[in-house]
Structure 1
């Protein structure tokens, strides 16, 4: 019996299925939604074991990156390793570093961590001041420490620039502390202990890295624990405090590793929940909608921008706008460059010397002097629900895209260069294909797939056609799609195949449970009983339909054929 807990849950079963068939995109989506990785299904199979056994290297890598445990000294880990279909997967599992921190490759945690690492991040607009004399902890918002203390900085202070909104989003403690602050805030705590300066500085650095979700739990040493526990308690990080208390009693390295994996996941998920609440309460619910014509008046616009900026505890440094040409309304959201920069589109906008980058003024020591009125930037959508989906993805990696808006999210994500969100939107479409096709034409999906370069949707269209070929064979829209696919080849030759036809032919093989090699059995075409039992007869009928359509479109010369006009050498994707 597996040492992992058995999970009877629909979402977990969907994850196991995705791992078994190699659907890395759907697995990514389910993991992002919080489906547990380290469990087993009713047959005692874990997601990692299924991916390993079935030979899906990309899924194995994804699971390991997201925290799947593969301990070769335990039954489940050994089972994954020795059950691997290929030597390459086996070597990946063997090389997996058990001591590596869990969330290093989580998309949400990775971006938050990158904000700490990026020395050029101008959105770090608050200073955290750690003071070892009396162990005071403070924050100075718009200027450096008092003049009479500056000369002591290198000996007495640990000063770190941080993003104010990250502090507020991560803990109610900071939210309360900053609530009434105008230009400056300073606060202190006094523990009853004396620390060496080096221990204090190391502990404060670990804590600030923790605030940015940098994996540091494995770096905690006993000499750090007292001060870290004080920070965790005073600043309301109960999960961190709980981890420190448990760590104090653990000696066994394996138990420590398991504790790190468990609590790094808990910490990340707690952060995501806090960011979810932050976005809902301080961004989405605090938006303002006004007439576009009125907003063109600079005086009115300045007043509205100030209202959006001051109407919540979001402390925005950018205003995001959604314009609706039909209603002539504009909706304004308080937002943050640090999170919008997950999009390469916005990152480029904020990096290059555009007007959108003029927000912060610093002195020569890179201390924040002032913050100008936030710039208004447009989100390339007119749909409010799509805007909310984009915000939720950027802020806390929400990948649960309602299928009703998935097409609009797909197009907007493509404009914003958010490839992963594009994939998640495509997963939503293909997971709700029947409902989706009641609203959208199958060929609308195909053309969008070509426009945004989404191969998953191209294959969805091809499979749907292959499975329902008699329904689509005479439709003008199907014929037009084939011609459009043919035109996508910049310079056609007689030997060229058509991508849409290639994909349909691949799914016809799957429809009839055949492989490319099985087509060699067509030599037995005179044996009708064999042809019917093997599926080759029904496959022959479907291919005849494709040949007929191509002949009608005068594109039949693009198909390589064998005896009785059956294609043999298709480029299978």
Structure 2
């Protein structure tokens, strides 16, 4: 209901209603309707300059030479709106958004904090986390346990592997979003097929079709960058929740996550941190706990010098947490990895 209200308000130019939906109801600004149109497109089309300015300032995407950018520019009702679109500068379209989970995943990709592998692709290097790539792609999960097993640096020398396309594939695996120059789309589809990302291939083909139809019908437009955006984080969150499944001790798994936990039996999550709670060991990842929580980041930095080591895996430090039970920690664990968890509600009579 809120989403349809946002589209309606943008067509009407009701900036107060739009501000309420965005700031109070947390409605996603870049949502799309069945015609693949965004709220910004309707604001431009209907000539609401103040609303266009507000949407841009709060994270609406309108990068030059993209499908959305060119469509908004072509459909703008007035020259002032066109000038506003052309003059508006943005380093990243996500910088004003308030989705901290998306922001965390983007930073994890860009900064590579606590990464445990590096890919070398024709002179370009890409830091990555095996746990993320393995959870998101069966191909990577298989390769890390076979051809790439034990390797911290992996050189991809095949002439058909394009560095730009490889970077976009990593972007998709980490964030669910992909930006690629139109000239590299076929390279990206080839890599997606290798990585067994059928959903991405279908999305790329559908987006290419829409861009072709738009450019063919609108002389003078130029789309150089193709963008694939997730309709929601559902699949991404489900994949990363498997890392939480793996972190939970086997004897505690009944009752948490999705049964029967078959997905964890043959999946290696490559943990680098252990939390010891009430006699149970939770095998986790520094990248998620430090990136998602300042509390855990400070805790780990202060206690690594005092931590013990896991006997079965001496390279993994063990941090003992007090004053928390295993059930509560498990719920925190799922939130850290997937931004979703079950919350216990207490009812008083």
The interval holding the TM-score normalised by the smaller chain is 0.5 to 0.7
Q: How does 1:168-187 map to 2 (within 5 A)?
A: 168-179=134-145, 183-184=149-150
Write the distance in 2 (CA, Å) between the matches of 1:25 and 1:379. Answer: 38
Write the distance in 2 (CA, Å) between the matches of 1:54 and 1:347. Answer: 41
1:12 and 2:3 correspond: yes
The gaps in structure 2 that reach 5 residues or longer are: 10-15, 253-263
Q: How does 1:313-352 map to 2 (within 5 A)?
A: 313-321=268-276, 323=277, 329-340=278-289, 341-351=291-301
* Superposed CA offset, 1:134-182 (max 9, x none): xxxxxxxxxxxxxxxxxxxxxx665543211011122122223335689
Partner of 2:244: 283
Partner of 1:394: 336
Give the conservation status (yes or no) of the 8 Å contact 2:275–2:284. Answer: yes
Partner of 1:296: none
Aligned to 2:321, which of 378, 403, 411? Answer: 378
Size of the aligned set, in residue pairs, is: 305
Write the distance in 2 (CA, Å) between the matches of 1:401 and 1:165. Answer: 23
Partner of 2:103: 110
Aligned-pair CA distance for 1:395: 2.3
Aligned-pair CA distance for 1:92: 8.1
Aligned-pair CA distance for 1:278: 3.8
Aligned to 2:229, which of 261, 264, 267? Answer: 264
Aligned-pair CA distance for 1:91: 10
Give the conservation status (yes or no) of the 8 Å contact 1:317–1:375. Answer: no
Aligned-pair CA distance for 1:378: 3.1
Give the conservation status (yes or no) of the 8 Å contact 1:101–1:215. Answer: no
Write the distance in 1 (CA, Å) between the matches of 2:87 and 2:195. Answer: 38
Relative contact order, CA 8 A, sep 6+: which one is greater? 2
The gaps in structure 1 that reach 5 residues or longer are: 1-9, 83-89, 131-155, 292-308, 324-328, 360-369, 406-437, 441-573
Aligned-pair CA distance for 1:346: 2.1
* Superposed CA offset, 1:408-465 (max 9, x none): xxxxxxxxxxxxxxxxxxxxxxxxxxxxxx749xxxxxxxxxxxxxxxxxxxxxxxxx
Aligned-pair CA distance for 1:338: 0.8
Give the conservation status (yes or no) of the 8 Å contact 1:124–1:161. Answer: yes
TM-score (normalised: structure 2) = 0.60
Aligned-pair CA distance for 1:242: 3.6
Write the distance in 2 (CA, Å) between the matches of 1:111 and 1:208. Answer: 15
Q: How does 1:357-506 map to 2 (within 5 A)?
A: 372-376=315-319, 378=321, 381-382=324-325, 384=327, 387-388=330-331, 390-398=332-340, 404=345, 439=348
Partner of 1:273: 235
* Superposed CA offset, 1:54-89 (max 9, x none): 98x98874462699x6865466x659x98xxxxxxx
Give the direction of change, closer, same or farther, for the CA distance of 1:355–1:244 in structure 2 (3 Å limit): same
Write the distance in 1 (CA, Å) between the matches of 2:328 and 2:73. Answer: 48
1:165 and 2:161 correspond: no
Give the conservation status (yes or no) of the 8 Å contact 2:207–2:226. Answer: no
Aligned-pair CA distance for 1:284: 3.3
Write the distance in 2 (CA, Å) between the matches of 1:377 and 1:278. Answer: 24
Write the distance in 1 (CA, Å) between the matches of 2:176 and 2:317. Answer: 29
- 1:217 match: secondary structure: strand
Write the distance in 2 (CA, Å) between the matches of 1:39 and 1:204. Answer: 30
